[in-house]
């Protein structure tokens, strides 16, 4: 089953998610519509809402509330993108100018706030207090992840443990919450709900690990951002952390300098260092381990095409090139 086949399996649900997104984003304020529509319509894999929809189907969700939940997850993700690009000073995302590059930082932050608050209105409408509890906790974790990442910025002494704490909070937590919410809406058993949360956490971790590999391996046209953006933002990602731990004195010097200064002036030498030390291979290996753990969690679900689709998404997360 290919990634496109997975999407085709729930094509009708995904169309409904798109309808919900555009309906709920509508505002009387023109600038909000412009900025929100720009980032929602700028492409991307829409992996998070896809995972929510398929997880709900795999757990036997009896109604269409999972499409609202999928839109909630996409809204929270969208809000974090708007805020992240301001914090990171990013100018390119998914191959297009970022919203802050077009409308300015103020508009991006304020529209991000609007999208966040709209997501919570939608959660209330779902009528499940446990969903509110899960998602409120998730948004707090995401915010903490942003602060932790800021604390790690330009710090070449960041440990692998600190790195994994950041990517759990910033990325994996939203995947984990999305799949858990899908299970809650489906009336899944406690064992299945816990399994779906584990699946989402491991899937999200694998996805971010590969993102950090692609920052040094993919080109702008495929990845939709400039190669070395993480380095330019002073982010000590796992490939760099590993190379700093295992590289030669000269390799460590170049990487430390690049991180401390947030400079891509020696990007070629740094990329060569993380390749030659095995930093990219090490990161990809850990991503495959995370994907395997995600697949293992699926044993709690009944054997259906939707469970197979969740397995395929775990494989896609580590095999993708964009």
CA 204 to chain centre: 6
- The number of CA neighbours under 13 Å toward the Cβ of 171 is 19
Q: Give the largest CA-CA distance in the chain.
A: 60
pLDDT per residue as tens digits for the range 249-293: 999 999 999 999 999 999 999 999 999 999 999 999 999 999 999
Q: How far apart are CA 319 and CA 322, in angstroms?
A: 9
The pLDDT of residue 245: 97
pLDDT per residue as tens digits for the range 284-318: 999 999 999 999 999 999 999 999 999 999 999 99
* CATH class of the domain comprising 3-316: mainly alpha
The pLDDT of residue 219: 60
pLDDT at 1 over 80: no
The pLDDT of residue 48: 96
pLDDT band of 140, cuts 50, 70, 90: very high
pLDDT per residue as tens digits for the range 192-246: 999 999 999 999 999 999 999 999 986 655 555 577 889 999 999 999 999 999 9
Asked whether the beta carbons of 242 and 283 are under 8 A apart, the reply is yes
pLDDT at 53 over 70: yes
Of the given ranges (77-81, 91-95, 264-268), which has the lowest mean pLDDT? 91-95
Q: What is the token pair recorded at 35?
A: 């900025």
Q: How far apart are CA 320 and CA 208, in angstroms?
A: 12
pLDDT per residue as tens digits for the range 111-134: 999 999 999 999 999 989 999 999
Q: How far apart are CA 98 and CA 91, in angstroms?
A: 5
- SS in 3 state form for 127-144? CCHHHHHHHHHHHHHHHH
Return left, alpha or beta for 228; rule: phi > 0 is left, psi -120 to 50 is alpha, else beta: left
Asked whether the beta carbons of 68 and 125 are under 8 A apart, the reply is yes
Asked whether the beta carbons of 111 and 86 are under 8 A apart, the reply is no
Q: How far apart are CA 190 and CA 202, in angstroms?
A: 18
The pLDDT of residue 307: 98
pLDDT at 84 over 80: yes
pLDDT per residue as tens digits for the range 28-44: 999 998 988 888 777 66
């Amino acid at each position: 089953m290919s990634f496109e086949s997975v999407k085709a399996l729930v094509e009708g649900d995904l169309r409904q998610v798109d309808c919900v997104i555009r309906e709920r984003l509508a505002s009387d304020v023109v600038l909000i519509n412009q900025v929100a529509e720009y980032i929602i319509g700028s492409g991307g894999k829409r992996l998070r809402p896809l995972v929510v929809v398929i997880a709900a189907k795999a757990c036997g969700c009896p109604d269409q509330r999972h499409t609202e939940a999928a839109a909630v997850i996409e809204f929270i993700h969208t809000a974090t993108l708007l805020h992240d690009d301001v914090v990171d000073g990013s100018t390119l995302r998914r191959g297009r100018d970022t919203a802050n590059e077009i409308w300015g930082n103020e508009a991006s932050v304020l529209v991000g706030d609007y999208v966040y608050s709209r997501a919570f209105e939608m959660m209330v409408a779902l009528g499940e207090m446990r969903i509110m509890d899960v998602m409120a906790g998730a948004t707090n974790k995401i915010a903490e992840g942003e602060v932790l990442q800021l604390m790690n910025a330009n710090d070449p002494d960041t440990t692998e443990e600190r790195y994994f704490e950041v990517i759990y909070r910033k990325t994996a937590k939203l995947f984990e919450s999305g799949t858990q919410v899908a299970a809650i809406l489906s009336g899944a058993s406690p064992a299945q709900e816990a399994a779906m949360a584990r699946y989402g956490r491991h899937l999200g971790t694998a996805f971010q690990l590969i993102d950090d590999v692609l920052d040094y391996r993919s080109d702008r046209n495929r990845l939709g951002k400039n190669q070395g953006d993480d380095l330019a933002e002073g982010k000590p990602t796992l490939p760099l952390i590993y190379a700093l731990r295992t590289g030669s004195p000269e390799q460590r010097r170049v990487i430390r300098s690049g991180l401390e200064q947030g400079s891509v002036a020696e990007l070629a030498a740094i990329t060569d260092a993380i390749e030659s030390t095995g930093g990219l291979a090490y990161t990809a290996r850990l991503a495959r381990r995370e994907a395997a753990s995600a697949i293992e969690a699926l044993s709690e679900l009944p054997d259906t095409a939707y469970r197979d689709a969740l397995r395929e998404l775990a494989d896609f997360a580590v095999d993708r090139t964009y």
